[in-house]
C-alpha cells in the first residue's frame, strides 16, 4: 500500500515555497503521491451547504486557492520521483480537449507521474459561475471521460457525441503513461459508482467509513465484471481528511478525527480493504494553518500508516 499526502495549496499555509517544501519532504520520506484539490469560489452566502461542517458553512481554507494543475506543474519541476494527483477536478467546469491537453502536457513534463482524480462537484454557485447546468451532469460526464481518453491517448484525434465533438485532428503529444494516465473518480451515488465500474481505472472515495467503502467497492467490482471488465484491474485510492484534536474525542466521532491515537486506530480498517494508496489531507486540521504543521503531520502520518 502506497501513501499519499496533500500539499498546502489551499488555505493560510498556501505559498509557492510551502508547496515545494512539503512536496520535497514527502518525496524524501518515500510517499508515493502528493495531491491537490480544487475550489473555484468561496461564496459569502452559499446556496449549497458544505457537507464537511455541522452548520454547512465553508471552511476558511477555501478563501485562498492555488490552481491545482499549475501547482502540480510547479511541483513537477522541483521533484523527480513522486507522483502528482488531482483530488479532484470537477468535470462540469472543463472542456475535454482543453483539459486533455493540459493533463498530457503535465504527464510529459513530469516524466509520466500524473494521477487523475475527477468528480462532478457540488456547489450550485460554482456551477452557475462556470455556466455548467447541474441537471444532466452524469450523462455528460460519461461522454467527457471518453473524449478525454481519446485526446490523451491518440495522435489522430476524433470524437463525435451528443455533448462534445472533435473534428479529426493531429495532436502529436500523447501521455507518457499508456494508454492514458490513470483516472480515478470520486463517487457516491449509484450512477456515479457505475461510472467508476465502466469508465475509470479506479475509485477515489473520501469521508466514507471503512464498512461503507467495502460495500460500495464490492458493488463497483461486481458491475465491472458484469460489463466484461476485469475487477482486479480497478484500483482503490482512499482519502482521509484529518481533524487532529489535542484531546481524544469522547463518544461517537467521524473516522480520522480526534487525537493522533484515535486516528491511528482508524487506519487498520482502511488498510484491510487493500487499497492501492491511502492519502491524507491535514488542510482542515489545526496543522493545516502553517507549513510547520503540514510537515509535522506528514511525519506522523508516515509513523501511523506505514
104: its cell numbers: 498530457
Positions of the chain with pLDDT under 50? none
Which spans in the chain are helix H? 16-28, 68-76, 96-109, 124-129, 137-153, 190-199, 210-226, 260-271, 291-305
> How remote is the C-alpha of 237 from its chain's centroid?
9
The DSSP bridge partners found for residue 83 are: 33
Look up cell 509513523; give the residue: 303
**How many domains does the structure of the chain reveal?**
1
Q: What is the pLDDT of residue 240?
A: 97
Contacts of 59 (CB under 8 A, 6+ apart): 11, 50, 52, 53, 284
- Tell me, what's the pLDDT at 29? 98
pLDDT value for 263? 98
pTM over 0.95: yes
Q: What is the grid cell recorded at 24? A: 520535497
Identify the CATH number of the domain in which residue 9 sits: 3.20.20.30
Tell which residue, 169, 163, 184, 173, has the closest CA to residue 106.
Answer: 173
The model's pLDDT over 143-169, given as tens digits with 9 standing for 90+, comes to: 999 999 999 998 999 999 999 999 999
The residue segments making up the domain with residue 136 are: 2-305
Cell representation of residue 254: 467521524
**What contacts 294, CB < 8 A, 6 or more positions away?**
8, 13, 18, 22, 282, 287, 288
Question: What does the pLDDT read at residue 52?
Answer: 80
pLDDT tens digits along 251-264: 999 999 999 999 99
Amino acid at each position: 500500500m502506497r501513501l499519499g499526502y496533500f500539499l498546502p495549496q489551499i488555505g493560510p499555509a498556501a505559498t509557492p515555497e510551502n508547496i515545494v517544501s512539503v512536496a520535497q519532504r514527502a518525496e524524501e520520506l518515500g510517499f508515493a503521491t502528493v495531491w491537490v484539490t480544487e475550489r473555484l469560489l468561496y461564496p459569502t452566502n452559499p446556496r449549497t451547504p458544505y457537507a464537511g461542517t455541522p452548520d454547512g458553512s465553508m471552511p476558511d481554507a477555501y478563501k485562498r486557492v492555488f490552481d491545482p494543475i499549475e501547482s502540480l506543474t510547479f511541483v513537477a519541476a522541483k521533484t523527480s520521483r513522486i507522483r502528482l494527483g488531482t483530488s479532484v477536478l470537477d468535470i462540469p467546469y472543463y472542456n475535454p480537449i482543453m483539459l486533455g491537453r493540459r493533463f498530457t502536457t503535465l504527464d510529459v513534463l513530469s516524466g509520466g507521474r500524473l494521477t487523475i482524480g475527477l468528480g462532478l462537484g457540488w456547489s450550485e454557485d460554482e456551477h452557475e459561475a462556470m455556466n455548467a447546468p447541474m441537471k444532466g451532469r452524469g450523462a455528460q460526464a460519461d461522454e467527457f471521460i471518453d473524449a478525454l481518453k481519446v485526446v490523451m491517448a491518440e495522435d489522430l484525434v476524433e470524437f463525435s457525441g451528443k455533448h462534445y465533438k472533435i473534428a479529426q485532428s493531429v495532436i502529436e503529444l500523447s501521455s507518457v503513461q499508456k494508454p492514458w494516465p490513470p483516472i480515478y473518480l470520486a463517487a457516491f451515488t449509484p450512477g456515479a459508482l457505475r461510472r467508476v465500474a465502466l469508465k475509470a481505472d479506479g475509485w477515489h472515495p473520501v469521508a466514507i467509513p471503512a464498512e461503507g467503502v467495502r460495500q460500495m467497492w464490492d458493488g463497483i467490482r461486481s458491475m465491472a465484471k458484469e460489463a466484461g471488465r476485469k475487477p482486479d484491474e480497478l484500483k482503490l485510492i482512499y482519502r482521509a481528511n484529518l481533524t487532529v484534536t489535542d484531546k481524544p474525542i469522547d463518544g461517537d466521532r467521524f473516522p480520522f478525527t480526534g487525537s493522533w491515537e484515535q486516528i491511528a486506530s482508524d487506519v487498520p480498517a482502511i488498510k484491510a480493504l487493500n487499497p492501492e494508496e491511502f492519502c491524507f489531507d491535514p488542510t482542515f486540521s489545526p496543522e493545516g494553518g502553517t507549513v510547520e504543521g503540514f510537515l509535522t503531520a506528514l511525519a506522523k502520518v508516515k509513523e501511523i500508516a506505514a
